[in-house]
Amino acid sequence: QVRLVESGGGVVQSGRSLRVSCAASGFTFSSYAMRWVRQAPGKGLEWVAAISSDGNNEYYADSVKGRFSISRDNSKTTLFLQMNSLRAEDTAVYYCARGRGAGGNSYFDYWGQGTLVTVSS
């Protein structure tokens, strides 16, 4: 069955960096676009970043553009999110999700359980 498992979250000081990962299994990882979605404590969902199935195209929400970088290793079926210059407002649970339809732009059919990133000042 499809499984997405995030890891790498934790407490980090404002201005520092952190990389979170998402290990995928149960499907042909290299055939699917993937996305990161975050949810601040008690708040709604926010799309953060997207990457094409081959890793050649990346897209970012304006709120993280220039600070975050999405990547993937199809040989290790793992998705990454490198987060630099972290701010308090980046505190959230970060979910990875599999994109479907229209190049992965239609909907997200599987989600991981999330990893909590807390940025302290």
Partner 1 sequence: QSALTQPPSASGSPGQSVTISCTGTSSDVGGYNYVSWYQQHPGKAPKLMIYEVSKRPSGVPDRFSGSKSGNTASLTVSGLQAEDEADYYCSSYAGSNNFVFGTGTKVTVL
* Distance of closest approach, residue 121 Cβ to partner 1, in angstroms: 26
Looking at residue 75, what DSSP letter applies? T
Find out whether 60 and 76 touch, Cβ atoms under 8 Å.
no
Which part of the chain contacts partner 1 (CB under 8 A), choosing from 15-23, 72-80, 82-90, 100-108? 100-108
Q: Do 24 and 112 meet the contact criterion of CB atoms below 8 Å apart?
A: no
Q: What are phi and psi of 95, to 5 degrees?
A: -110, 140
- Site for partner 1 contains 66 (CB under 8 A): no
* Interface contacts to partner 1, rule CB under 8 A: 35, 37, 44-47, 50, 57, 59, 61-62, 95, 100-102, 105-114
